[in-house]
Structure 1
């Protein structure tokens, strides 16, 4: 079971360089807005590209999507692949901090 993490806990880890955010939405959603520095790994690519995008299976990875449904699914799949430092951040809709992107579309 992958542990949930609050945005407040996540921003502390990200700011300290102790974790990496991973966005499991689609590329067009990522382009609209994402957590600064986040890596993109669409849910449909988790089984085939995880090791490419997330090479260290023991690092702290903060998985998020739009509302939390895809992040929970992705976290389960990643855990099954041997990732140990996973935290489910849930959805970017509840992220109160800085977001980078083109903001032309909507979340």
Structure 2
């Protein structure tokens, strides 16, 4: 069993994407130079989003060109509604050369369940 756990940790670390629960995500949001991305649609973003988040719709044709303007050396944090789109966005960011990527486990739904701040 411990071999499986060790292998799982190695695979997650190699992926370059850290998936964290709302409390850990909130702590990381407070770090310097964080680039926080809401990868949902503009309509979803307008209905409520995390403080200081920028809207970069992962399903839009211009997603790659928009994120290309971000600093690849600074931490980038992503979230969506439940975690599916942010996982895709994180994989794309990794492919584009971003070094420090954090994905919110369970998306904004888990954030709201944890009674964290939402901006409208």
TM bracket, shorter-chain basis: 0.7 to 0.9
SS at match of 1:57: coil
Name the CA shift for 1:16/1:85 in 2 (closer, same or farther; >3 Å). closer
TM-score, normalised by the number of residues in structure 1: 0.84
d(CA) in 2 for partners of 1:37, 1:73: 21
Structure index of larger Rg: 2
- Root mean square deviation, CA, Å: 1.4
Structure 2 portions without partners, runs of 5+ = 1-14
Deviation at 1:49, TM superposition (A): 1.3
User: Which residue of 2 is the match for residue 23 of structure 1?
Assistant: 38
d(CA) in 2 for partners of 1:99, 1:58: 27
SS at match of 1:33: coil
Verify the 8 A CA contact 1:67 1:93 in the aligned structure 2.
Answer: yes
Query: By percentage of residues, which structure has more helix?
Result: 2
TM-score, normalised by the number of residues in structure 2: 0.76
Structure 1 portions without partners, runs of 5+ = 102-107
Number of residue pairs the alignment of both structures matches = 99
* Per-residue CA distance 1:19-71 (angstroms, 9 max, x = gap): 3321000001000000010011100232221123xx21011111100010000
SS at match of 1:11: helix
User: After the TM superposition, which segments of 4 or more aligned residues of structure 1 sit over 4 Å from their partners?
Assistant: none
Verify the 8 A CA contact 1:46 1:77 in the aligned structure 2.
Answer: no
